[in-house]
């Protein structure tokens, strides 16, 4: 057992980041008591993105989607005081330290980047606090309740899942799903799986428009097609008022909407995210936020950022689709803007792919640039194939990264102080690091609470073994277990 002081910073508190922290805590108890672990996360709580679809349909489920980090650093009955949680947004990554919003710096010997991706087109994914998340959800529920014809743009897992939920909740509404490819889902999945999914959706009454790219109009920008500036609470119309507008405009065949300024999601995060360091964040009980209702100022801020009125959207081929509400479920992109301050050893080989926005990594999950053998990128943020962008893959990548960090600690533990960049790269190349071999898994797509499709028999059996159909829990129980709840 070694007592050497080693600082590991993990950025991102979702599946990959939390798993990495858990593995490092275990390592600190078993072998390295001098290991100092810091988790940096912009949200006050863990946000269960995997269940974002179910949270829209089930208010009680949504109240459980924010889980405090205060038990993460527990090990049995004890709490490790070498470790801490920092609630702040990552601004810049440098060679030996990171800088968070507010200017504070955190020095590290090893860095694990697990910041994942963000859906700019779905404001709820940008929520920083529990209150903001619930308000965003309520705004989306209100809009969907007011609309009779709903168009979803993007036939990936999120778009398909939302279609299934809404078709199940509102069987009398007209639901349309538009997708740019000729088949639903991603190209890494078989045509048979896509065909099965399409048949299930059509049986639920969902209209499919495939091979058509919808063009964002005055209802939103290309990056944020769903988001509009909300009115002040004093002029926000009621839900019944919105219905009345829709009905009257439908009778007069009025198509269109007022112009919308290109803006990012309306957010109060700048005023509520602390930039100071603290060991644990205070717990926010769902009971404290579940009382948000139509008369709440917070709810009003988000309610009408969704445009609910009759209009047409047009595809690049000229096909017109009539709807009252268009919801984009596209635009997922890795969060890597903070990498601009980390300079590569060769400008011809950038650290971040210009097209995908992902961080380029080696099979060992270290940065592809040999100059930084002590920096790892795991989960959705890295350059592995799209078939590795699932929760189970993120968990396995985090475990692999921590295993390789342990090997580096044993062979050349102190890059920051004792070695030059060239010497560190040369020494790390000789370490016995293991490549990430990929995760063998089946894919399950939920279509509401009671239906699902899977691409393998194993995936279906595994889904039932985990407590029934995927749409009932979306791995929430696993997330709670991961955070010691």
Confidence of residue 265 (pLDDT cuts 50, 70, 90): very low
Instruction: Output the pLDDT for position 296.
Output: 47
* Cα 442 to Cα 459: distance, rounded to the nearest angstrom: 5
pTM score of the predicted model: 0.80
Q: Which residues on neighbouring strands pair with residue 9, listed in sequence order?
A: 38, 111
Terminal CA-CA length for the chain: 30
Which position has the higher pLDDT, 351 or 54?
351
Q: Please, are residues 326 and 313 in contact by the beta-carbon 8 Å criterion?
A: yes
Instruction: Output the pLDDT for position 456.
Output: 59
Looking at the chain, the number of H-run helices and the number of E-run strands are 16, 23
Angle at the Cα of 447 from the Cα atoms of 444 and 449, rounded to 5 degrees: 100
Model confidence pLDDT, tens digit, residues 157-206: 889 999 999 999 999 999 999 999 999 987 777 788 889 899 999 999 99
Q: What is the mean pLDDT of residues 272-279?
A: 27
Query: What percent of the chain stands above pLDDT 90?
Result: 44
Contacts of 171 (CB under 8 A, 6+ apart): 205
Model confidence pLDDT, tens digit, residues 390-446: 888 999 999 999 999 999 988 765 555 556 667 767 777 777 899 999 876 667 787
């Amino acid at each position: 057992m070694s007592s050497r002081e080693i600082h590991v910073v993990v950025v991102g508190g979702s599946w990959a980041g939390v798993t990495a922290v858990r593995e490092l805590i275990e390592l600190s108890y078993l072998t390295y008591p001098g290991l100092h672990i810091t988790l940096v996360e912009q949200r006050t709580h863990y946000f269960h993105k995997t269940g974002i679809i179910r949270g829209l349909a089930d208010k009680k489920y949504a109240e459980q989607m924010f889980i405090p980090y205060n038990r993460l650093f527990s090990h049995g009955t004890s709490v490790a005081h070498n470790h801490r949680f920092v609630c702040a947004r990552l601004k810049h990554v440098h060679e030996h330290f990171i800088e968070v919003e507010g200017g504070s710096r955190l020095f590290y010997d090893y860095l694990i980047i697990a910041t994942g991706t963000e859906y700019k087109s779905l404001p709820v994914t940008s929520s920083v606090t529990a209150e903001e998340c619930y308000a965003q959800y309520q705004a989306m529920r209100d809009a969907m309740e007011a609309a009779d014809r709903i168009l979803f743009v993007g036939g990936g897992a999120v778009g398909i899942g939302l279609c299934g939920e809404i078709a199940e909740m509102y069987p009398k509404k007209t639901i349309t799903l538009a997708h740019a490819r000729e088949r639903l889902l991603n190209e890494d999945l078989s045509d048979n799986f896509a065909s099965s999914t399409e048949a299930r959706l059509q049986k639920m009454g969902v209209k499919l428009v495939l091979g058509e790219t919808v063009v964002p109009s005055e209802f939103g920008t290309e990056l944020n097609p769903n988001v509009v500036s909300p009115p002040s609470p004093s002029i926000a119309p009621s839900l019944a008022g919105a219905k009345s507008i829709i009905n009257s405009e439908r009778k007069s065949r009025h198509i269109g909407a007022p112009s919308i300024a290109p803006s990012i999601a309306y957010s109060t995060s700048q005023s509520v995210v602390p930039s100071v360091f603290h060991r644990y964040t205070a717990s926010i009980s769902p009971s404290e936020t579940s009382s948000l209702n139509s008369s709440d100022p917070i709810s009003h801020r988000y309610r009408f950022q969704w445009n609910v009125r009759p209009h047409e959207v047009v595809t690049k081929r000229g096909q017109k689709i009539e709807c009252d509400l268009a919801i984009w479920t596209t635009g997922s992109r890795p969060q890597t803007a903070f990498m601009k301050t980390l300079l590569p050893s060769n400008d011809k080989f950038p650290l971040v792919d210009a097209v995908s926005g992902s961080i380029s990594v080696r099979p060992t999950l270290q940065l592809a640039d040999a100059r930084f053998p002590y920096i790892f990128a795991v989960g959705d943020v890295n350059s592995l194939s799209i078939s590795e962008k699932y929760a189970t893959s993120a968990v396995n990548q985090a475990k692999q990264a921590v295993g390789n960090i342990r090997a580096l600690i044993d062979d050349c533990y102190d890059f920051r102080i004792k070695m030059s960049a060239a010497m560190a790269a040369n020494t790390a190349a000789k370490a016995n690091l293991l490549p990430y071999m990929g995760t063998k898994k089946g894919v399950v797509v939920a279509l509401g609470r009671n239906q699902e499709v899977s691409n393998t028999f194993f995936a279906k059996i595994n889904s039932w073994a985990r407590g029934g159909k995927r749409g009932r829990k979306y791995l929430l129980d696993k997330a709670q277990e991961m955070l010691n709840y």
